């Protein structure tokens, strides 16, 4: 009798507190090459010279950057799969990996504008949040910080049409260094950063303290968000920490990496997720505090461009886009689905109808919310280089370009340490096999993980009565909350993009 009652109570409770789930797209690293030719030379970025090549491909080549056909097929595929997401984030790098002599600022503005226009054309009713990549200034990587004497950010707004995408006050903010903050809903804020300023290939910012005052601004924004009890997403191009492939090089200058991580740690209670691009690979990061407790998740989304990196030990990838599910009330990401184009097949067929699902985190990783603890558990569960879940992750890492499963101990430890150690010193200690940091086995109990509560093996029978009583109490509480919610009319309205033809756009289911 008691258990039957409990069963119905649980059903009622689940129904009463059903999550309000929203979705959003992330797309990144288009690297649009206007000079791509389907008869070009694959060993020269598929640029046409005197010799005509036959098998370069209409949709792209693993040795080259994206032709327009690939870019528009990716955006069209996003629309076909999910035409009405809550918003789209676009994390930079539109400019191709071509010699500097082929480019200038006008060409850069034009091609960034081409992609902006295409996303707006396909998704005229959806909010778009763009950030700049390290390839987007000219010369590449040299992101200006001296905003008083530089037109770059103004031109991106004015010439590349980002002033259509951002609201007036976000555009105004953007002029001060390519960063902005946007309120998405009542309790949810998105912060777009220009982390290219911290990239160690930026010679302009090497000797500075706080390029474009972004650190000071970010701290203020996060402080304000905490006071207003808003959940925050951070989006940016270059991630902190180290590359999981090749020699494991770090992206930021050391001093900026440390300062950025400290800020992320200080405000881990308001930051619900971070999304980055830049690596072109599919990976993630979990920030741990000094006690080894997971506090932040960083998602690294793979690229649209298939281009094989020039870095030693780094390969190519299939073109890819990502759809996240998140809880609209807490902003906690629930899962994401990775979609991809098998480039070889698209070129053989002569069409890009085969944009398809690659995997869904809730299936392959069997985790129901993408929290720091869940993702840390996933990484720890990798165990070793022949672990099945790790081998799935490894296939996804190159978006199924490399399905050979070739990954020796050195390769494995680079993945594991890059995912779990964002500080360079700790990353190196992890690689060197410092036992206190490389706690790979999920069953071990080193000092960093000894705080987990121990679960009693047997449940005493009186607990069932206690639980029954609690359930009845919860039921009463539920009724009260339900009535209150009804009265409040739990309504949330989303921002209206400036180019929308609507007076108001609301999302309420
Ligand atoms: C190029 O490809 C076309 C179509 O597949 C084929 O008819 C032609 O013979 C090929 N040319 C060369 C030089 O391989
Ligand atoms: C395309 O190629 C032409 C001819 O080499 C060159 O002048 C131009 O700068 C290139 N454009 C881009 C965007 O790479
Ligand atoms: C890119 O923009 C330029 C300037 O507006 C335009 O001439 C060109 O046709 C555009 N290219 C594409 C592929 O839309
Ligand atoms: C955008 O909204 C308008 C007005 O409801 C609608 O007619 C149009 O089909 C929408 N466009 C897209 C691409 O969803
Ligand atoms: C924007 O560009 C137009 C011409 O393309 C120019 O007349 C105008 O002054 C620019 N505005 C700003 C704020 O730079
Ligand atoms: C931008 O304007 C909106 C609406 O007026 C406001 O809610 C928001 O706080 C402003 N954002 C900034 C960064 O000033
Ligand atoms: C991609 O397509 C090619 C050609 O059809 C096929 O050989 C290959 O196995 C496919 N790759 C994946 C990961 O499905
Ligand atoms: C793992 O493979 C890489 C090259 O793929 C090689 O440089 C490295 O020495 C190998 N490490 C071990 C432990 O075999
Ligand atoms: Zn890139
Ligand atoms: Zn990049």
Element (H, E) at 285: strand 283-288
The pLDDT value recorded for residue 466 is: 58
Give the HSE-up count for residue 430: Cα atoms under 13 Å, Cβ half-sphere.
Answer: 26
Average pLDDT, the chain: 88
443 pLDDT tier (thresholds 50, 70, 90): very low
User: Mutation test of ligand 5: which of 158, 159, 161 has the most ligand atoms closer than 8 Å to its C-beta?
Assistant: 158
The pLDDT value recorded for residue 338 is: 98
Q: Which atom of ligand 5 is nearest to the CA of 158?
A: 1
The span from the first CA to the last CA of the chain, in angstroms, equals 36
Element (H, E) at 294: strand 294-300
Cα of 479 from ligand 9 centre, angstroms? 52
User: Mutation test of ligand 4: which of 83, 118, 123, 125 has the most ligand atoms closer than 8 Å to its C-beta?
Assistant: 125
Q: Is the pLDDT of residue 235 over 60?
A: yes
Residue nearest to atom 2 of ligand 2 (CA): 35
Q: Using CB atoms within 10 A of its CB, is residue 257 exposed (0-12), middle (13-18) or buried (19+)?
A: buried
pLDDT, tens only, 339-368: 999 999 999 999 999 999 999 999 999 999
Element (H, E) at 201: none
User: Mutation test of ligand 8: which of 404, 407, 408 has the most ligand atoms closer than 8 Å to its C-beta?
Assistant: 408
Residue nearest to atom 14 of ligand 2 (CA): 102
Q: Is the CB of 141 under 6 A from ligand 6?
A: no
Hey, where are the domains in the chain?
1-21+467-509, 22-447
The 8 Å CB, 24+ separation contacts for 215-218 are 215/259, 215/260, 215/263, 217/176, 217/179, 218/179, 218/191, 218/193, 218/263
The fraction of the chain above a pLDDT of 90, given in percent, is 79
The mean pLDDT value for 23-43 works out to 98
The mean pLDDT value for 293-303 works out to 98
Contact 292, 449 (CB under 8 A): yes
Cα of 156 from ligand 2 centre, angstroms? 20
Q: Is the pLDDT of residue 501 over 50?
A: no
Give the HSE-up count for residue 82: Cα atoms under 13 Å, Cβ half-sphere.
Answer: 21
Cα of 93 from ligand 9 centre, angstroms? 5
Cα of 344 from ligand 1 centre, angstroms? 17
Rounded Cα distance, 43 and 40, in Å: 9
The mean pLDDT value for 472-483 works out to 66
CATH architecture of 22-447: 4-Layer Sandwich (3.60)
The pLDDT value recorded for residue 149 is: 80
Cα of 401 from ligand 7 centre, angstroms? 9
Residues within a 6 A CB radius of ligand 3: 68, 110, 113-114
Q: Is the CB of 318 under 6 A from ligand 7?
A: no
Contact 77, 57 (CB under 8 A): no
Q: Is the pLDDT of residue 337 over 50?
A: yes
- How do strand 21-27 and strand 355-360 relate by DSSP bridges? unpaired
Q: Is the CB of 98 under 6 A from ligand 2?
A: yes
* DSSP code of residue 431: H
Q: For residue 286, what are the contacts with CB-CB under 8 A and spacing of at least 6?
A: 294, 296, 297, 298, 372, 375, 376, 379, 419, 420
The pLDDT value recorded for residue 148 is: 84
Q: Is the CB of 102 under 6 A from ligand 2?
A: yes
pLDDT, tens only, 89-117: 999 999 999 999 999 999 999 999 999 99
Among the residue ranges 15-29, 140-154, 239-253, 478-492, the one predicted with the least confidence is 478-492
Q: Is the pLDDT of residue 412 over 60?
A: yes
Q: Is the CB of 154 under 6 A from ligand 5?
A: yes
Cα of 53 from ligand 1 centre, angstroms? 9
Q: Which atom of ligand 2 is nearest to the CA of 47?
A: 2
The mean pLDDT value for 20-33 works out to 98
Q: Is the peptide bond before 346 cis (omega within 30 degrees of 0)?
A: no
More confident: 455 or 155 = 155
Contact 303, 237 (CB under 8 A): no
Residue nearest to atom 5 of ligand 7 (CA): 345
* DSSP code of residue 494: P
469 pLDDT tier (thresholds 50, 70, 90): low
The pLDDT value recorded for residue 505 is: 31
Q: Is the CB of 342 under 6 A from ligand 7?
A: yes
The mean pLDDT value for 323-341 works out to 98
147 pLDDT tier (thresholds 50, 70, 90): confident
pLDDT, tens only, 175-228: 999 999 999 999 999 999 999 999 999 999 999 999 999 999 999 999 999 999
């Amino acid at each position: 009798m008691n258990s039957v009652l409990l069963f119905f109570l649980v059903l009622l409770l689940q129904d009463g507190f059903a999550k309000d789930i929203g979705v959003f797209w992330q797309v990144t690293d288009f690297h649009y090459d206007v000079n791509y030719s389907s008869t070009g030379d694959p060993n020269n970025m598929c640029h046409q010279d005197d010799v005509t090549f036959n098998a370069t491909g209409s949709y792209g080549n693993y040795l080259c950057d994206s032709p327009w056909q690939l870019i528009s097929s990716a955006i069209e595929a996003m629309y076909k799969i999910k035409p009405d997401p809550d918003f789209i984030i676009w994390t930079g790098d539109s400019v191709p990996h071509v010699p500097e002599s082929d480019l200038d600022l006008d060409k850069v503005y034009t091609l960034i504008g081409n992609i902006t226009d295409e996303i707006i054309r396909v998704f005229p009713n959806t909010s778009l949040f763009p950030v700049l990549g390290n390839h987007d200034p000219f010369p590449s990587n040299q992101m200006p910080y001296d905003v008083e004497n530089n037109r770059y950010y103004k031109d991106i707004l004015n010439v590349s049409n980002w002033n259509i995408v951002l609201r007036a006050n976000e555009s105004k903010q953007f002029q001060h260094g390519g960063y902005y903050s946007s309120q998405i809903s009542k309790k949810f804020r998105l912060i777009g950063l220009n982390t290219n300023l911290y990239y160690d290939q930026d010679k302009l910012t090497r000797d500075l303290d706080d390029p474009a005052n972004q650190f000071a601004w970010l701290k203020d924004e996060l402080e304000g968000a905490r006071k207003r009890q808003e959940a925050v997403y951070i989006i940016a191009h270059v991630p902190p920490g180290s590359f999981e492939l090749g020699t494991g090089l770090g992206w930021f200058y050391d001093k900026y990496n440390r300062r950025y991580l400290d800020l992320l740690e200080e405000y881990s209670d308001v930051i619900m997720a971070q999304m980055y691009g830049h690596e072109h690979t599919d990976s993630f990061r979990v920030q741990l505090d000094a006690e080894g407790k997971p506090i932040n998740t960083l998602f690294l989304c793979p690229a649209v461009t298939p281009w094989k990196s020039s870095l030693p030990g780094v390969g190519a990838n299939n073109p890819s886009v990502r759809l996240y599910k998140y809880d609209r009330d807490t902003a906690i990401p629930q899962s994401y689905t990775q979609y991809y184009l098998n480039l070889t097949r698209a070129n053989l067929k002569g069409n890009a109808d085969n944009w398809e699902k690659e995997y869904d985190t809730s299936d392959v990783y069997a985790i129901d919310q993408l929290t720091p603890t869940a993702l840390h558990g996933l990484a720890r569960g990798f165990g070793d280089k022949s672990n099945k879940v790790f081998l799935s992750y490894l296939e996804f890492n190159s978006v199924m370009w490399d399905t050979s499963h070739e990954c020796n101990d050195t390769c494995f430890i680079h993945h594991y340490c890059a995912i779990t150690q964002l500080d360079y010193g700790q990353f190196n200690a992890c690689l060197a096999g410092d036992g206190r940091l490389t706690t790979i086995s999920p069953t071990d109990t080193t000092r960093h993980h000894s705080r987990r509560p121990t679960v009693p093996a047997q449940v005493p029978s009186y607990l069932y009565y206690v639980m029954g009583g609690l359930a009845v109490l919860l039921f009463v509480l539920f009724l009260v909350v339900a009535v209150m919610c009804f009265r409040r009319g739990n309504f949330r309205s989303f921002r209206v993009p400036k180019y929308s033809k609507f007076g108001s756009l609301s999302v309420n289911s």
